[in-house]
Structure 1
């Protein structure tokens, strides 16, 4: 009964968010700055493996996605120049803090930016999870294949504990949607153990 209610709540959240027009930043002069948002929760049997990738972090360290094997990971594609990224930053911070005890990890993928502006953005919103630099973000973006359109900023991708893409949000996310997806994906890995 509880899982049926959870399934209905997830379907309702996806339907509501998917039908809303969400704005997203795009590239190129003359390109529209608003697109319809997409929220897609992928059933376990239809999930595809995310390719491993590495990158340089804004704090100077190195990132290797294989170091997070066995964890649910939320990747957020963002840029300091992106207005919707500023809107969703507090949401990402809050959900990252609330889901940390569930073993969920967050990683930013900074695109088309400079490191100084990106670090200032993170400081401004007190973002504590690591972000991959623009210089090395292309490998991260390519790891998600067609699930991540190249101009879709912001986008949020949730990878399950088996390293498979469990959900994607193209456009800015809200607290209810992200929290529900992250919590349910983390619960899947708990149930399988």
Structure 2
């Protein structure tokens, strides 16, 4: 009896290395645990500590959320290519101007954008003074559990995330969430 002979395809070292690297990348990304979504406060649980947020700002300064302890911080995740982000920036800047004497700090986390596009957006929306941390690859946003833009996090004076808004913030949201924290 003659048995058919099957040939196993040979995989060259370069292809084997590329496949191994691709599989390793997929596993690493799949196994990487982003920060748990800070919704525990909204669910009645203990507010989650805010993830680290520090680095060079768009204007060449430096920002570190840890240095903002004692202040209420709004972290707004935005992009110049996001229409709703463009719409909400003037409201956020007005809230910052209104409440900064009571201890509010507004910080923008700009994802997947270029510096020139962000500067143009800030100028168009009257937000030139906004502290902006660039996040060109989205890594910081992932650490914060961001699902899309815009998204805004409210960090209390103890550095804990007490609320988050997925999508555009409204004046009502700011009044209901921010004002009470500033009164404490």
Q: TM-score, normalised by structure 2?
A: 0.71
- 2:158 matched to which residue of 1? 162
Instruction: Judge conservation of contact 1:57–1:63 (CA < 8 Å) in 2.
Output: yes
Q: Per the alignment, in what secondary structure is the counterpart of residue 73 of structure 1? A: strand
Cα distance in 2 for partners of 1:131, 1:44 equals 31
Q: Per the alignment, in what secondary structure is the counterpart of residue 94 of structure 1? A: helix
Cα distance in 1 for partners of 2:137, 2:68 equals 18
Q: Against the structure 1 CA distance between its residues 77 and 118, is the aligned structure 2 distance closer, same or farther, given a 3 Å change threshold?
A: same
How many residues matched? 145
Cα distance in 2 for partners of 1:64, 1:106 equals 12
Cα distance in 2 for partners of 1:40, 1:76 equals 19
- 2:94 matched to which residue of 1? 94
Q: Against the structure 1 CA distance between its residues 46 and 117, is the aligned structure 2 distance closer, same or farther, given a 3 Å change threshold?
A: same
Question: Structure 2: any 5+ residue segments left out of the alignment?
Answer: 1-38
The structure with the larger Rg is 2
Q: Which runs of 4+ in 1 moved over 6 A?
A: none
Offset, 1:123: 1.2
Question: Structure 1: any 5+ residue segments left out of the alignment?
Answer: 1-38
Q: Against the structure 1 CA distance between its residues 93 and 41, is the aligned structure 2 distance closer, same or farther, given a 3 Å change threshold?
A: farther
Aligned CA-pair RMSD: 2.2
> Superposition pairs for residues 10-159 of structure 1, below 5 Å?
42=42, 45-127=45-127, 128-135=129-136, 138-139=139-140, 141-144=141-144, 146=145, 148-149=146-147, 152-159=148-155
> Which has the larger share of helix?
1
Q: TM-score, normalised by structure 1?
A: 0.68
Instruction: Judge conservation of contact 2:112–2:138 (CA < 8 Å) in 1.
Output: no
